[in-house]
Amino acid sequence: MIRIAAIAAGAVMLAGCITLFPESEPARQYVLDLPAPELADKAFDVARGPIAFTRTAGGDGILTIENGEASYIDGARWVIPARQMFEEQVHIAFRAGPARLTPRGAAGQAKWILRLDVTQFETDYRAGPNGAPIVVVEIKAVMTRNTRDGQTVEEIFRAEAPAGSNNVGAIIDAYEAALGKSLGDLVGWVSTVGAGP
């Protein structure tokens, strides 16, 4: 059974600090390892705008939700903050489509500007603390044509992946499945919008 470390209201979070109790075991660290897509021919540029990330999930704790209450998996952390890990996976995912993702602030001749808002990146314990959770990844994407008063289109990409069991390894697998699905759908949508007139 996974132990959950609750978020105490008003408590100061000391993520990354050295423990005061050396006899305690160090947290295990995890990273998302999505398969790298094949490189595709590039037809147009999309400038990457800001990426917003839900605050409770953006750090190195693996966020859980049960009955509306947020906690973190005790003894397990992401190798790097989830926000940074997500950003790296976005760049990898765009290798598969015709859009060349240019760095933030380098819009240049990019046809579109893409802004992303990760509204959910969490482990949902709908079946209670002992049941296998469901990982939820939800991304709101906004594309704006890079012209004065440019057209704006937006879409929400949501993926849910059930963990095979209530252990951290199975939960990480579910994160990879949910993130891979949502980013695949995002790249497909950007490719369709960007290929338009």
The tokens describing 52, both together, are 């917003």
Find out whether 44 and 114 touch, Cβ atoms under 8 Å.
no
pTM of the model: 0.83
Estimate to the nearest angstrom the gap between the alpha carbon of 186 and the chain centroid.
12
The answer to whether the CB of 171 falls within 8 A of the CB of 62 is yes
Residue-wise pLDDT tens for the chain (197 aa)? Answer: 565 555 433 333 333 333 333 444 668 998 888 877 776 787 888 999 889 999 999 999 999 999 999 999 999 999 999 999 999 999 999 988 898 888 766 667 788 999 999 999 999 999 888 889 999 999 999 999 988 878 899 999 999 999 999 999 999 999 999 999 999 999 999 999 988 77
* Residue that is written with structure tokens 């008063």 in the block: 149
**Paired tokens of 18:** 């050295």
Q: What is the DSSP letter of 125?
A: -
Mention every residue, 6+ apart, whose C-beta is less than 8 A from residue 23. none
Which residues are CB-contacts of 100 (< 8 A; sequence separation ≥ 6)?
42, 44, 45, 46, 94
Domains identified in the chain and CATH numbers: 41-194 (3.40.50.10610)
Q: Which two tokens stand for residue 99?
A: 């859009």
Using only C-alpha atoms, what is the Rg of the chain?
A: 18
Whether 125 contacts 133, CB under 8 Å: yes
- Give me 189's structure tokens: 């949508």
